[in-house]
Amino acid sequence: MKSDQYATVAREGAHETEVNRSRFLCSLAPAATEQEAQDFVARIRREHPAATHNCYAYVIGADAAVQKAGDDGEPGGTAGVPMLQMLMRRDIRYAVAVVTRYYGGVKLGAGGLIRAYGGAVGEALDELGTVTRRRYRLATVTVDHQRAGKTQNDLRSTGRTVVGLRYGAAVQIEVALPEADLPAFEAWLADTTAGTAVLTLGGETYAA
């Protein structure tokens, strides 16, 4: 079952917290692919070579098909996993988090580390903000040139999302529709174009 919506990081950025003199700097970024996520982790590591640890977690796919986490030398399960759990709890997808720790001389213990790493991600998400993307079905409306302008205006005035236009022998208007709206949209389109428009359903996309 595909998810109808997910949240992702609004923008790349970082947020710092301090726990018992240790600094926890959480860097967050959107990531469309696993490679992008890995490149971001590598970049943050290069930017903080003197850090005690650079732990990471990322979730790729609207249905969280790829979930990876790394502790980078912290005791197993005390860093990457709580970071990943925080991303999942917030329904965050297509995003990567790196928490850079500068040790402050006070041991936090396993429970303290779990709270610190998970909390750093939660606070960074609050600070940087998230955006919700909903699932849409792409559909192409093909109309003749005489009707194209009016059809576009009608689409926009009824709140439909026009995502593309192609001019050829006829005009193809690409729209993004919530799946549940398809039957009503087909009826509306037939009515508004006197049955002259052709509707072709395409793939799916997620958009804000």
Tokens in use for 125? 């998400």
Question: Is there a single domain that holds both residue 148 and residue 118?
Answer: no
Q: Report the C-alpha gap between 53 and 24 in whole angstroms.
A: 10
Find the CATH number of the domain harbouring 38: 3.30.230.30
Domain with 57 in it: 5-128
Question: Is there a single domain that holds both residue 17 and residue 120?
Answer: yes
Tokens in use for 193? 């174009």
Q: How many domains does the chain have?
A: 2
pLDDT at position 80 is 96
DSSP 93-116: -SEEEEEEEE--S---HHHHHHHH
pLDDT at position 35 is 96
Question: Domain boundary residue among 103, 128, 153?
Answer: 128
Containing 190, the helix (H) or strand (E) segment is helix 182-192
Contact assessment for residue 86 and residue 123, using Cβ atoms and an 8 Å cutoff? no
Question: Is there a single domain that holds both residue 164 and residue 179?
Answer: yes
Give the three-class secondary structure for 3: coil
Other CB atoms within 10 Å distance of the CB of residue 38: 15
Question: Is there a single domain that holds both residue 57 and residue 149?
Answer: no
Other CB atoms within 10 Å distance of the CB of residue 55: 29
Question: Is there a single domain that holds both residue 124 and residue 139?
Answer: no
Alpha helices per DSSP H over 49-181: 80-89, 109-128, 145-157
Question: Domain boundary residue among 80, 95, 128?
Answer: 128
Question: Is there a single domain that holds both residue 52 and residue 116?
Answer: yes
pLDDT at position 63 is 87
pLDDT at position 134 is 85
Question: Is there a single domain that holds both residue 91 and residue 17?
Answer: yes
Question: Is there a single domain that holds both residue 94 and residue 159?
Answer: no
Question: Is there a single domain that holds both residue 66 and residue 110?
Answer: yes
Question: Is there a single domain that holds both residue 123 and residue 190?
Answer: no
Question: Is there a single domain that holds both residue 158 and residue 121?
Answer: no
Each of the 208 residues of the chain gets a pLDDT tens digit; together they read 467 788 999 999 999 999 999 999 999 999 999 999 999 999 999 999 999 999 999 999 988 999 999 999 999 999 999 999 999 999 999 999 999 999 988 889 999 999 999 999 999 999 999 999 888 889 999 999 999 999 999 998 988 888 899 999 999 999 988 888 889 999 999 998 999 999 999 887 887 6
Per-residue three-class SS string for 12-48: CEEEEEEECCEEEEEEEEECCCHHHHHHHHHHHHHHC
Tell me, yes or no, if the pTM score tops 0.85: no
